[in-house]
Structure 1
Amino acid sequence: MYIKKILWVIALVGLAVAAYLAYYVYSAMLSPNTAFNNEEAFIFIQTDADYQDVRGQLEPLLGDIETFDALAQRKQYTANIKAGKYRIVKGMNNNEIINSIRSKNIPITVSFNNQNTIGELAGRIGQQIEADSLSLISSILNSEFLESNGFESQTAIAMYLPNSYEFFWNTDADGFRDRMKKEYDKFWTDDRMAMAEEIGLSPVEVMTLASIVYEESKKADEQPIVAGVYINRLKRGIALQADPTLKFAAYQLPEYKNTVIKRVLNVHKEINSPYNTYMYPGLPPGPIAMPDLSAIKAVLNYQKHNYLYFSADPERLGYHKFATTLAQHNANARAYHAYLNSQGIKK
């Protein structure tokens, strides 16, 4: 009888232990363990993060961090951290959370519009992915990469087409740059290459001219006309005399830093720079900014006409008046200068 009692006690203790273990397993694995009110929350795990870094982000989001710790240890997650952006849905249990942050890296949409410089581009991208702006600048301007892909520091920005792209948040600088090269190659289809060749321009030269067109006119319906003017001048060996290139040249000089040139003056035309298209014929050494896709397409599909000049239209701001003769152009220019004077715009 005594032995039977001992066996019964052992059995009851075993059942109690089993019940406790079952409860613990349920609590650790299957019981909901989120503590936020929104439908979902996100954590960003950096490339060099360890478990304590992840735990620090999770602790405010979870009801019981200790049970999460225990299961993370058992599932060996603590030694296998994966970088990326991860979603935690309200009501998830620890097992679901671990499965999510271990293998469900969420792509993000990275977007950039027309950036004026590589520095601005890097700053914009550095706000959206793990890579910081300094590493992005270094990667984008890497001389070995540029040379092997037919670019120079002056033309590097031509490779970046403003748009929205899908990336993983933990993409590094080289990963971003290399992906943009693939997008650039994808854009330059055989048809577009043939169109550029017919004009007599390389893809980079198309991007350079498109940057000037875009700085001249933000109106998509007018850009093919503007592009046609410049192509007419290139074909006839006439200097482009593009005011945006003068501004670009000026902004490279210390005295024009942190200034905005609202009116191009004769003094700007005297700046000795390869970007001064009044002083030097042909295209400048590279884009003066990142051209919009509409301007690139405007160059490739430029409007064929006889215009050689254009001047801003004071009656339709944002648009231009086009001319075939210098006399007509000078009249248009005088009208616009009179408008600038009436507005008190002197420089």
Structure 2
Amino acid sequence: MPYSMRKLIVVFVLTIIIVLSSFGYWQYGNQAVNPQDKNNKIFVIEKGASIREIGNKLRKEGLLRDPVVFFLYIKLYGQDRKIQAGDYRLSPSMSLKEIVDALNHGTLDRWVTFPEGIRAHEIADLLKENIPSYRESWRERLNENEGYLFPDTYLVPKDADVEMVIAMMKNNFDKKINMVGSELNDPQLQKRVLIIASLIEREAITDEEKPIISGIIDKRLKMGMALQVDATIQYAKGYNNLTKKWWSPILPSDYNGVDSSYNTYLNPGLPPGPISNPGLEAIRAALNPASTPYLYYLHDSAGKIHLAKTMEEHNANIKKYLK
């Protein structure tokens, strides 16, 4: 037999072997890890997880034979954009196709992000948008816990009730509070700090500003001076049907026209409760106000803060940066 013919046969045989091996590898990766084990596991996909990370985690938790086959399957059938963060009920008895189908048919829970500084009504709006079991009656219970609903990203069960949501957020609040300082275990001090933190969170634009604004609030309280925090009027006014917002700009007539115990232009001292749900930096700033010579502040249209020691300086800043 000529050499060229023998070479061709060798190449043909090797090709057959590679094809059969690849087919066997593919078939192996598509099979269930254990067809007899039908016990369900809750498999969680973290927000932002890549397909490779999901495949490796499935393998690690005994739900998948081969993460490479999983990756190729997802790409081959264009499934990568259909898989969402959340948790899923899977078992080792499921084939690769069944696992991918399960990951495409919705999660048991939903990831919901609650930004720092939003009020309880806004938390209710986000829950209404994301959680099928939401009821309008939740608003009242959420409002009762204003300030203690820690802003974060939560994995919320689709069938959650309001008490479950409140417990999740308040348990997280308790953990975060312990990171700030043990003195916040005192309920009276905790409430005072939380009210101030809720003001800071609405007034500050950057974390660097928060201790300074805290220092100004602390200084005004010690002087018996009205806090004159615009955000308290916004809170008292509530939802604006024209702007479709909870925190719409206030009008000059609102300073004296909004009759509410939360109006810190009309009422000296702190408002009766938090006006938002503050994050960790605002709470830290409220507990540790900066020593500052300033009594006034404002932000220009670019968001830069301008400080003043006297009313005259403050009025000059208003004229320079706001008019």
CA distance in 1, matches of 2:161, 2:254: 44
289, 311, 317: which is aligned to 1:332?
Answer: 317
Say yes or no: does 1:211 pair with 2:198.
yes
Contact 2:109 2:156 in 1 (8 A): yes
Q: For residue 194 of structure 1, report the CA deviation from its aligned partner.
A: 1.9
What amino acid maps onto 1:298 in structure 2?
A: A
Contact 1:248 1:275 in 2 (8 A): yes
Say yes or no: does 1:180 pair with 2:169.
yes
Say yes or no: does 1:222 pair with 2:209.
yes
5 Å-filtered alignment, 1:28-107, equals 37=77, 38=79, 85-87=88-90, 92=95
Distance 1:259 1:226, change over 3 A: closer
CA distance in 1, matches of 2:108, 2:243: 44
Distance 1:119 1:251, change over 3 A: closer
5 Å-filtered alignment, 1:144-293, equals 153=144, 156-189=145-178, 192-194=181-183, 202-251=189-238, 261-262=248-249, 264-293=251-280
What amino acid maps onto 1:157 in structure 2?
A: E
Q: For residue 307 of structure 1, report the CA deviation from its aligned partner.
A: 1.4
Distance 1:133 1:122, change over 3 A: farther
Say yes or no: does 1:303 pair with 2:283.
no
Distance 1:245 1:93, change over 3 A: closer
SS in 1 for 2:306: strand
CA distance in 1, matches of 2:175, 2:133: 24
SS in 1 for 2:146: helix
CA distance in 2, matches of 1:157, 1:260: 16
CA distance in 1, matches of 2:90, 2:278: 36
CA distance in 2, matches of 1:301, 1:260: 27
SS in 2 for 1:222: helix
TM-score (norm 1): 0.57
TM-score (norm 2): 0.61
Contact 1:212 1:288 in 2 (8 A): yes
CA distance in 2, matches of 1:225, 1:119: 28
CA distance in 2, matches of 1:245, 1:227: 15
Q: For residue 158 of structure 1, report the CA deviation from its aligned partner.
A: 0.8
Distance 1:264 1:319, change over 3 A: farther
CA distance in 2, matches of 1:299, 1:259: 24
Distance 1:281 1:166, change over 3 A: same
Aligned position for 1:16: none
Distance 1:259 1:163, change over 3 A: closer
Contact 2:151 2:277 in 1 (8 A): yes
Number of corresponding residues = 244
Deviations, residues 129-170 of structure 1 (Å, cap 9, x unaligned): 4531435335535xxxxxxxxxxx3xx221111112345444
CA distance in 1, matches of 2:146, 2:244: 20
Structural RMSD (CA): 4.1
Unpaired stretches in structure 1, ≥5 consecutive residues: 1-28, 31-35, 44-83, 142-152, 339-347
CA distance in 2, matches of 1:271, 1:107: 41
